Every structure is written in structure tokens, then in C-alpha cells.
Structure 1
Amino acid sequence: MPHQTARRRHAGAAALVFLAGLAAADARADAAAGRAKADQMCATCHGFDGVSQLPNAPTLAGQPEIYLQESLNAYRTGRRQHEMMTVVAKDLTDQDVANLATWYASIGFTVSVPP
């Protein structure tokens, strides 16, 4: 039992460090810079407003920031493969990823369930 308690403390501390790192990155993220980068690199497939008109490109508007960061980082490192995204994401900096995630997460997006 003491071993499990130590594991939980270690896992809890690791989670806090991870979340603190995310908060620090988010504090430096610039949505306007993310929008400029998105207009330059992402809009053709994902739309200027983050709402894709292409059937094989997802809508990014309103996605959670952490999901966007993790996805872009997975493409950057090769953990996630996609013919276009692997090429597009490989040269993004950490700051670009933070800015893009902040921009897309800040876009309001409403979903309605059909009656």
C-alpha cells in the first residue's frame, strides 16, 4: 500500500508539472499570430474561419487547445502520420503550435443536434 501511495504522489506531481508547463505556454500564446500563421498555412484545407469545407479535412474551430497542441506535436515528431499534415507541421516551432492552438480554440463554434 505505501508503494501505491508513492506512485500516486509521483503521478500527481508529474501531472502538476505538465499542467504548469501548459499554462506557461498558453500565457505566451498569441491568438493574432496564430491567425496570421493559420491564414498562411492552414486556411486552404481548414478554412479561414477554421470551418473546413473539404470532406477529408477536419474543422478546427472550437477544438480544445490541448487537443490541437498534442495533434500538431504528434505530426511534428512523426508519431502521427498524414500525407499533408506531416509535411506542414514539421517546421512549426513550439511557439507556432501554441499560437495556432490558441487561435483555433478561441473561435466560437456551435453544434446543433437535429430534432
Structure 2
Amino acid sequence: MSNAVHAQRLAIALLAALALAACSQNNEVAAEDPGHASGEHGSSSSAGLPDGRIAIGEKRAQVKSEATKQSCVDCHGAEGNAPIDATYPKLGGQYGDYIAHALQAYRAGNRQNALMTPQAAQLSDQDISDLAAYFGSRSTQLRDLHGVD
């Protein structure tokens, strides 16, 4: 295996570990509040956002932005698992905090993508939290790197 491939896999593993550490706070909240464990009330966010509302996030995912004339589900699929292009990420079952941090970075211009930067520009903190709660609550088709050499 080349050093570049090894470095890329190491970077992915480190990002996953950081995301897991950020989400570990949610386990403490879930133990104290069964509504959090079930996803009924969304989830706490390491991104400093209000609690996400899954049902409102589902509706928000269908709203077309003025900038791109696209909605989240137009590109990522109704539950975030059917992107229209293989290069678009699957969002269903992704860590809500990861989605929230990514959307905040797009909104701030710290993360650039021709579609996502303008798509996120008009999102409020509550919008981001709601979308993260919705997509994070969906079933997942994501894979980890277990067993990948």
C-alpha cells in the first residue's frame, strides 16, 4: 500500500474518532432522557446548536433554496441514502454533529463546494440542527473502514 493511501485512510480514521468523541456526550444525555435515546427530541449538538427537530428537519430537507433551486432530497435522496451522483455523500444515519459542523462550515465559507456553499448560506442554526437531526435519524447505508487494508 502506498504512503498516500495509508495517510488518507489514517486521516479518515482520525476524523471518525473525533466525531465519535464529540458524540459521546450524547450518550450521557440519552441515559438521563429516554426521549434523546429514541431520537424523539432530536439530539444535543457539539456544534453549539439548539436541539434538532426530526419532523421539521424532514420538511426542511424538501425546501428548494433560492440560490441553487435544489433541495437536500433532490441531490441526496428522500432519506439521504440515494444521491443522484456517486460523488455526493449519503447522509442517512450519518452523525448529526458531523452534518451540523459540515453545514456550518459551508455556511461560513470555510468549506467550499459549488452546490453546498450557496445551499447552506441561508440556513439558520435551527435549520442546520433540524436537518442534522432528520438525516441522522434515518437508516444508514454508510460503511466504516473495518477490514479495509
TM-score in terms of structure 1 length: 0.72
Match of 2:138 among 107, 110, 114: 107
Aligned residues: 94
In the alignment, does 2:93 pair up with 1:62? yes
Separation of aligned partners in 1, 2:72 and 2:121: 14
What is the root-mean-square deviation of aligned Cα atoms in Å? 2.5
The answer on whether the counterparts of 2:107 and 2:123 sit within 8 Å (CA) in structure 1 is yes
- Residue of structure 2 equivalent to 1:47: 77
Task: Write out per-residue CA displacement over residues 12-57 of structure 1, whole angstroms, 9 at most, x where no aligned residue.
Answer: xxxxxxx69737845x311111011112220111001211242121
One-letter code of the match for 1:38? A
**Distance in 1 between residues matched to 2:115 and 2:90, nearest whole Å:** 16
**Which 4+ stretches in 1 moved above 2 angstroms?**
19-26, 110-113
Q: Which residue identity is paired with 2:87? A: N
Partner residue in 1 for 2:55:
32
1:32 is matched by which residue type in structure 2?
A: A
Moved more, 61-70 or 102-111: 102-111
> Taking CA–CA contacts closer than 8 Å with sequence separation of 6 or more, which of the two structures ends up with the larger relative contact order?
1
Structure index of larger Rg:
1
The separation in 2 between residues aligned to 1:34 and 1:54, in whole angstroms, is 22
Q: Which has the higher helix share?
A: 1
Distance 2:142 2:112 in 1: 28
**Separation in structure 2 between the aligned mates of residue 108 and residue 98 of structure 1, nearest angstrom:** 18
> How far apart, in 2, do the equivalents of 1:100 and 1:66 lie?
11
Report the 3-state secondary structure (helix = DSSP H, G, I; strand = E; otherwise coil) of the residue aligned with 1:39: coil
Q: Distance in 1 between matches of 2:116 and 2:100?
A: 13
